[in-house]
Structure 1
Amino acid sequence: MNKLMVVATCMAMAGCASVNTAVVPDDPEFAPVYPEDVAVEARITGSLFTENGANNLYSDKKAHRIGDIIVVTLAERTQASKSASNELAKDKNLNLNQITVPGGVATINGNPIELGLSQSSDFTGEADAAQSNSLNGNISVNVVQVLANGNLIISGEKWLMLNNGNEYIRLTGIIRPEDVAPDNSITSLRIANARIQYGGTGDFANTTNQGWLSKFFNGPVWPF
């Protein structure tokens, strides 16, 4: 009875650990960031030209402030392969001829004393692994923080509502303002410390996931 209680407790703990937190829209971590209103000082200059409202001749409209929008072009592609093989062979033979003593060959019960030993071992191992992933598309994100060195922290998400569930893309990372194109776009390959999530919710996503009990039996804690 005690063993059954221990097994049941382990199964319950594994089930609780394997249940993932549901992904839902409007997560505060990916909420859009709006720029703060800055009070504009009224300055009477007697001229139609105001320095605060003018753009430099060489300036552009690229995103560089908190709340600005940047379009990220997803161009992720990874491919990995690995192959290994190993062969090992070993043979060993040991023979001890008949032992001779003064007067002839040593015997036991009339049988000559001799010894023979033979050993052989072979080992062959081979392993192959291959993996390929790709993700293409676009997502618009916000600048959520401007670092001291001028780099920008971006974050954003996109949700698509389908008949049997939703699909989402979430992205966070750090970019350089110099890598932003004039049309306020940047490729995902130029995002440092990128965190890109692509998944789904609903019936389609649930059918591709194992239940918590199946995960327990297929997990490392199952002793058999």
Structure 2
Amino acid sequence: MLLALAALAACGRLQEVGRTPDFTPVEGGEEFYAMSGEVLPATNSPWLPAGQASLWSGNRESLLGDRRAMRRGDILTVVIEIDDQAQISNSTGRSRQASENMGIPGFFGLPQRADAELLYEGSSLAEAVDADSSSSFEGEGSVSRQERLTLRVAATITDRMPNGVLRIQGSQEVRVNNEIRELLVAGFVRPEDITRQNEIGYDKIAGARISYGGRGQITDVQQPRYGQQVADILLPM
């Protein structure tokens, strides 16, 4: 069974030899479904009503209208500016030392008699027990991490939750030579957090899921082969 699965995977990879990676189809995704679900109202008259023709109208199509994304299918811009740096350093030290001495130099002459008749030559009850102990421990650890990412991606409102929160999802693919760079973003935003420029920062997205990666020849050589990954899981050492 493993050999059959490996053969199928190899056949799929052989079909990509000499070809550039294909883009993911836009049709069929949640963004396309959200934008195609609503139809603009049609009008039979070539002229707009007098109220809609005014420049001071408050509707979305007017000059002063609020054009922020609010409805299902609307598009907004997500600004991703990640500049995180964390440094953690811990140091622990422990030391302990103990000394115990016990002897019977004199007790009605019995220690001297025991030294002469009962104990081995050179032994004495004057220094019956002498124990020393010491222990020490030192531990040190440090973590240093730095991440920086600046991106902008258009996202689509795919749903409006019962409490008014908007669910967004966006994707972007750029193909350079034989490598596709993918940017995916999804999460939940509040309508009041969307700026007048129809933008929202990534730090205002609840449940944010941001992925920046790629697929193609460069990504392929940077990953270990399937056989090596399986061997790393199965082998104990």
Q: State the 1:198 CA deviation.
A: 0.5
1:126 is aligned to 2:140: yes
1:162 is aligned to 2:176: yes
Tell me what 2:78 maps to. Answer: 72
- Judged with a 3 Å threshold, the aligned counterparts in structure 2 of structure 1 residues 42 and 59 are, in CA distance, closer, same or farther, namely closer
| Worse-matched range after superposition: 179-188 or 30-39 | 30-39
Counterpart AA for 1:164: N
Q: State the 1:63 CA deviation.
A: 1.1
Q: Is the 8 A contact 1:35 1:66 kept in 2?
A: no
**Residues in 2 aligned to 1:42 and 1:163: alpha-carbon distance in whole angstroms:** 47
Q: State the 1:64 CA deviation.
A: 0.9
Tell me what 1:26 maps to. Answer: 25
Q: State the 1:139 CA deviation.
A: 0.4
Q: Which runs of 5+ in 1 are unaligned?
A: 1-8, 13-22
Tell me what 2:50 maps to. Answer: 49
Identical positions, percent: 22
TM-score (norm 2): 0.71
> C-alpha deviations, 1:2-57, integer Å up to 9, x for none?
xxxxxxx9xx9xxxxxxxxxx9723855543314345859899xx94367x99427
**Residues in 1 aligned to 2:43 and 2:182: alpha-carbon distance in whole angstroms:** 45
- Judged with a 3 Å threshold, the aligned counterparts in structure 2 of structure 1 residues 145 and 94 are, in CA distance, closer, same or farther, namely same
- Judged with a 3 Å threshold, the aligned counterparts in structure 2 of structure 1 residues 38 and 131 are, in CA distance, closer, same or farther, namely same
Return the index of the structure with the highest Cα Rg.
2
**Residues in 1 aligned to 2:221 and 2:42: alpha-carbon distance in whole angstroms:** 59
SS in 1 for 2:220: helix
Pairwise mapping of residues 132-211 of structure 1 onto structure 2 (< 5 A)? Answer: 132-211=146-225
**Residues in 1 aligned to 2:104 and 2:224: alpha-carbon distance in whole angstroms:** 68
Q: State the 1:223 CA deviation.
A: 3.6
**Residues in 2 aligned to 1:214 and 1:41: alpha-carbon distance in whole angstroms:** 60
Counterpart AA for 1:154: I
User: When you count helix as a share of all residues, which structure comes out higher?
Assistant: 2
Counterpart AA for 2:197: D
Q: State the 1:181 CA deviation.
A: 2.0
Match of 2:120 among 109, 120, 131: 109
SS in 1 for 2:68: coil
SS in 1 for 2:35: coil
Count of paired positions: 201
Q: State the 1:193 CA deviation.
A: 1.2
SS in 1 for 2:219: helix
**Residues in 1 aligned to 2:135 and 2:164: alpha-carbon distance in whole angstroms:** 64
Counterpart AA for 1:25: T
Counterpart AA for 2:35: Y
Counterpart AA for 2:85: Q
Q: Is the 8 A contact 2:30 2:158 kept in 1?
A: no
Q: State the 1:218 CA deviation.
A: 5.7
**Residues in 2 aligned to 1:187 and 1:125: alpha-carbon distance in whole angstroms:** 41
**Residues in 1 aligned to 2:231 and 2:138: alpha-carbon distance in whole angstroms:** 31
Counterpart AA for 1:112: S
- Judged with a 3 Å threshold, the aligned counterparts in structure 2 of structure 1 residues 92 and 37 are, in CA distance, closer, same or farther, namely closer
Q: Is the 8 A contact 1:66 1:145 kept in 2?
A: yes
Q: State the 1:145 CA deviation.
A: 0.6
